[in-house]
Structures are given as C-alpha cells and as structure tokens.
Amino acid sequence: MAEVNISLNGRGYEIACDAGQEGRVVDLAAYIDQRLQGIARSGGAYNDAHLLVLTALVLADELYEAREALSARPVAKTAPAAQAPQNREEEQIVLRLLSDLAKRIDGIAQRVQAA
C-alpha cells in the first residue's frame, strides 16, 4: 500500500492507494480540484463541506452521463469479429474506472463530512 499527498481547495490530504497508482491518484485529485475550484468561483457553496458535496454531485453527474453515453452508443454490426471483443473490453475498463472514481469521490466526501 502506498500513500500520496493531495490538495483539494488548498487543504492537504494523505490518501492510501495501491502501489503504482500514486500518479493516477494525483491526476484524479487535480481533476477534482479543478472542478471544485470552478464551483467555488460560482459562489454556490456555503462552506468547505458543502463545496465538496456539490463537487461530488457534479462529478457523479458526469459519471452518469458517461455511462448513459456508453450504453446508448450503437454497436457496429459490421465490425470485424476481432474488433468486437476489444470494444466490449474497452467499455468495461472505462466503466470500471468511472466506478472507481465515483467510489473515491464518495470516500473523500465522507471523510470531509466526518472532519
């Protein structure tokens, strides 16, 4: 198990992650912070916890839209047989990554609310 330090809205957090995933966690945190800062600039949050909840909702909305887009995407009936498994495999990878992101966001929001 590895640990990485991230910053969200100027506050530091020490996050445990699988070894080798440190860069990914830092990238995810940077994306979350970017979205968080945009919401903060809009002035819609009452405090840090509210800001993180709003950010989690926005990111969850993005996740749901991505899932809907994937499930609505037409499957090419003329695709070569060798290409079809790759497309299904890619979809599963994307869905798994989006699900992991949603779980991480939920975990961060829970830790912030508990703090």
- Global pTM exceeds 0.85: no
Break the chain into its structural domains and give their ranges: 2-114
The residue behind tokens 């709003």 is 54
- pLDDT, one tens digit per residue, over 6-49 is 999 999 999 999 999 999 999 999 999 999 999 999 988 889 88
Write the CB contacts of 1 (distance below 8 Å, at least 6 apart in sequence): 16, 17, 18, 19
* Residue 12 confidence (pLDDT): 94
Confidence (pLDDT) at 96: 78
Over the stretch 86-100, which tens digit does the pLDDT of each residue have? 677 777 777 777 777
Position 78 pLDDT exceeds 60: no
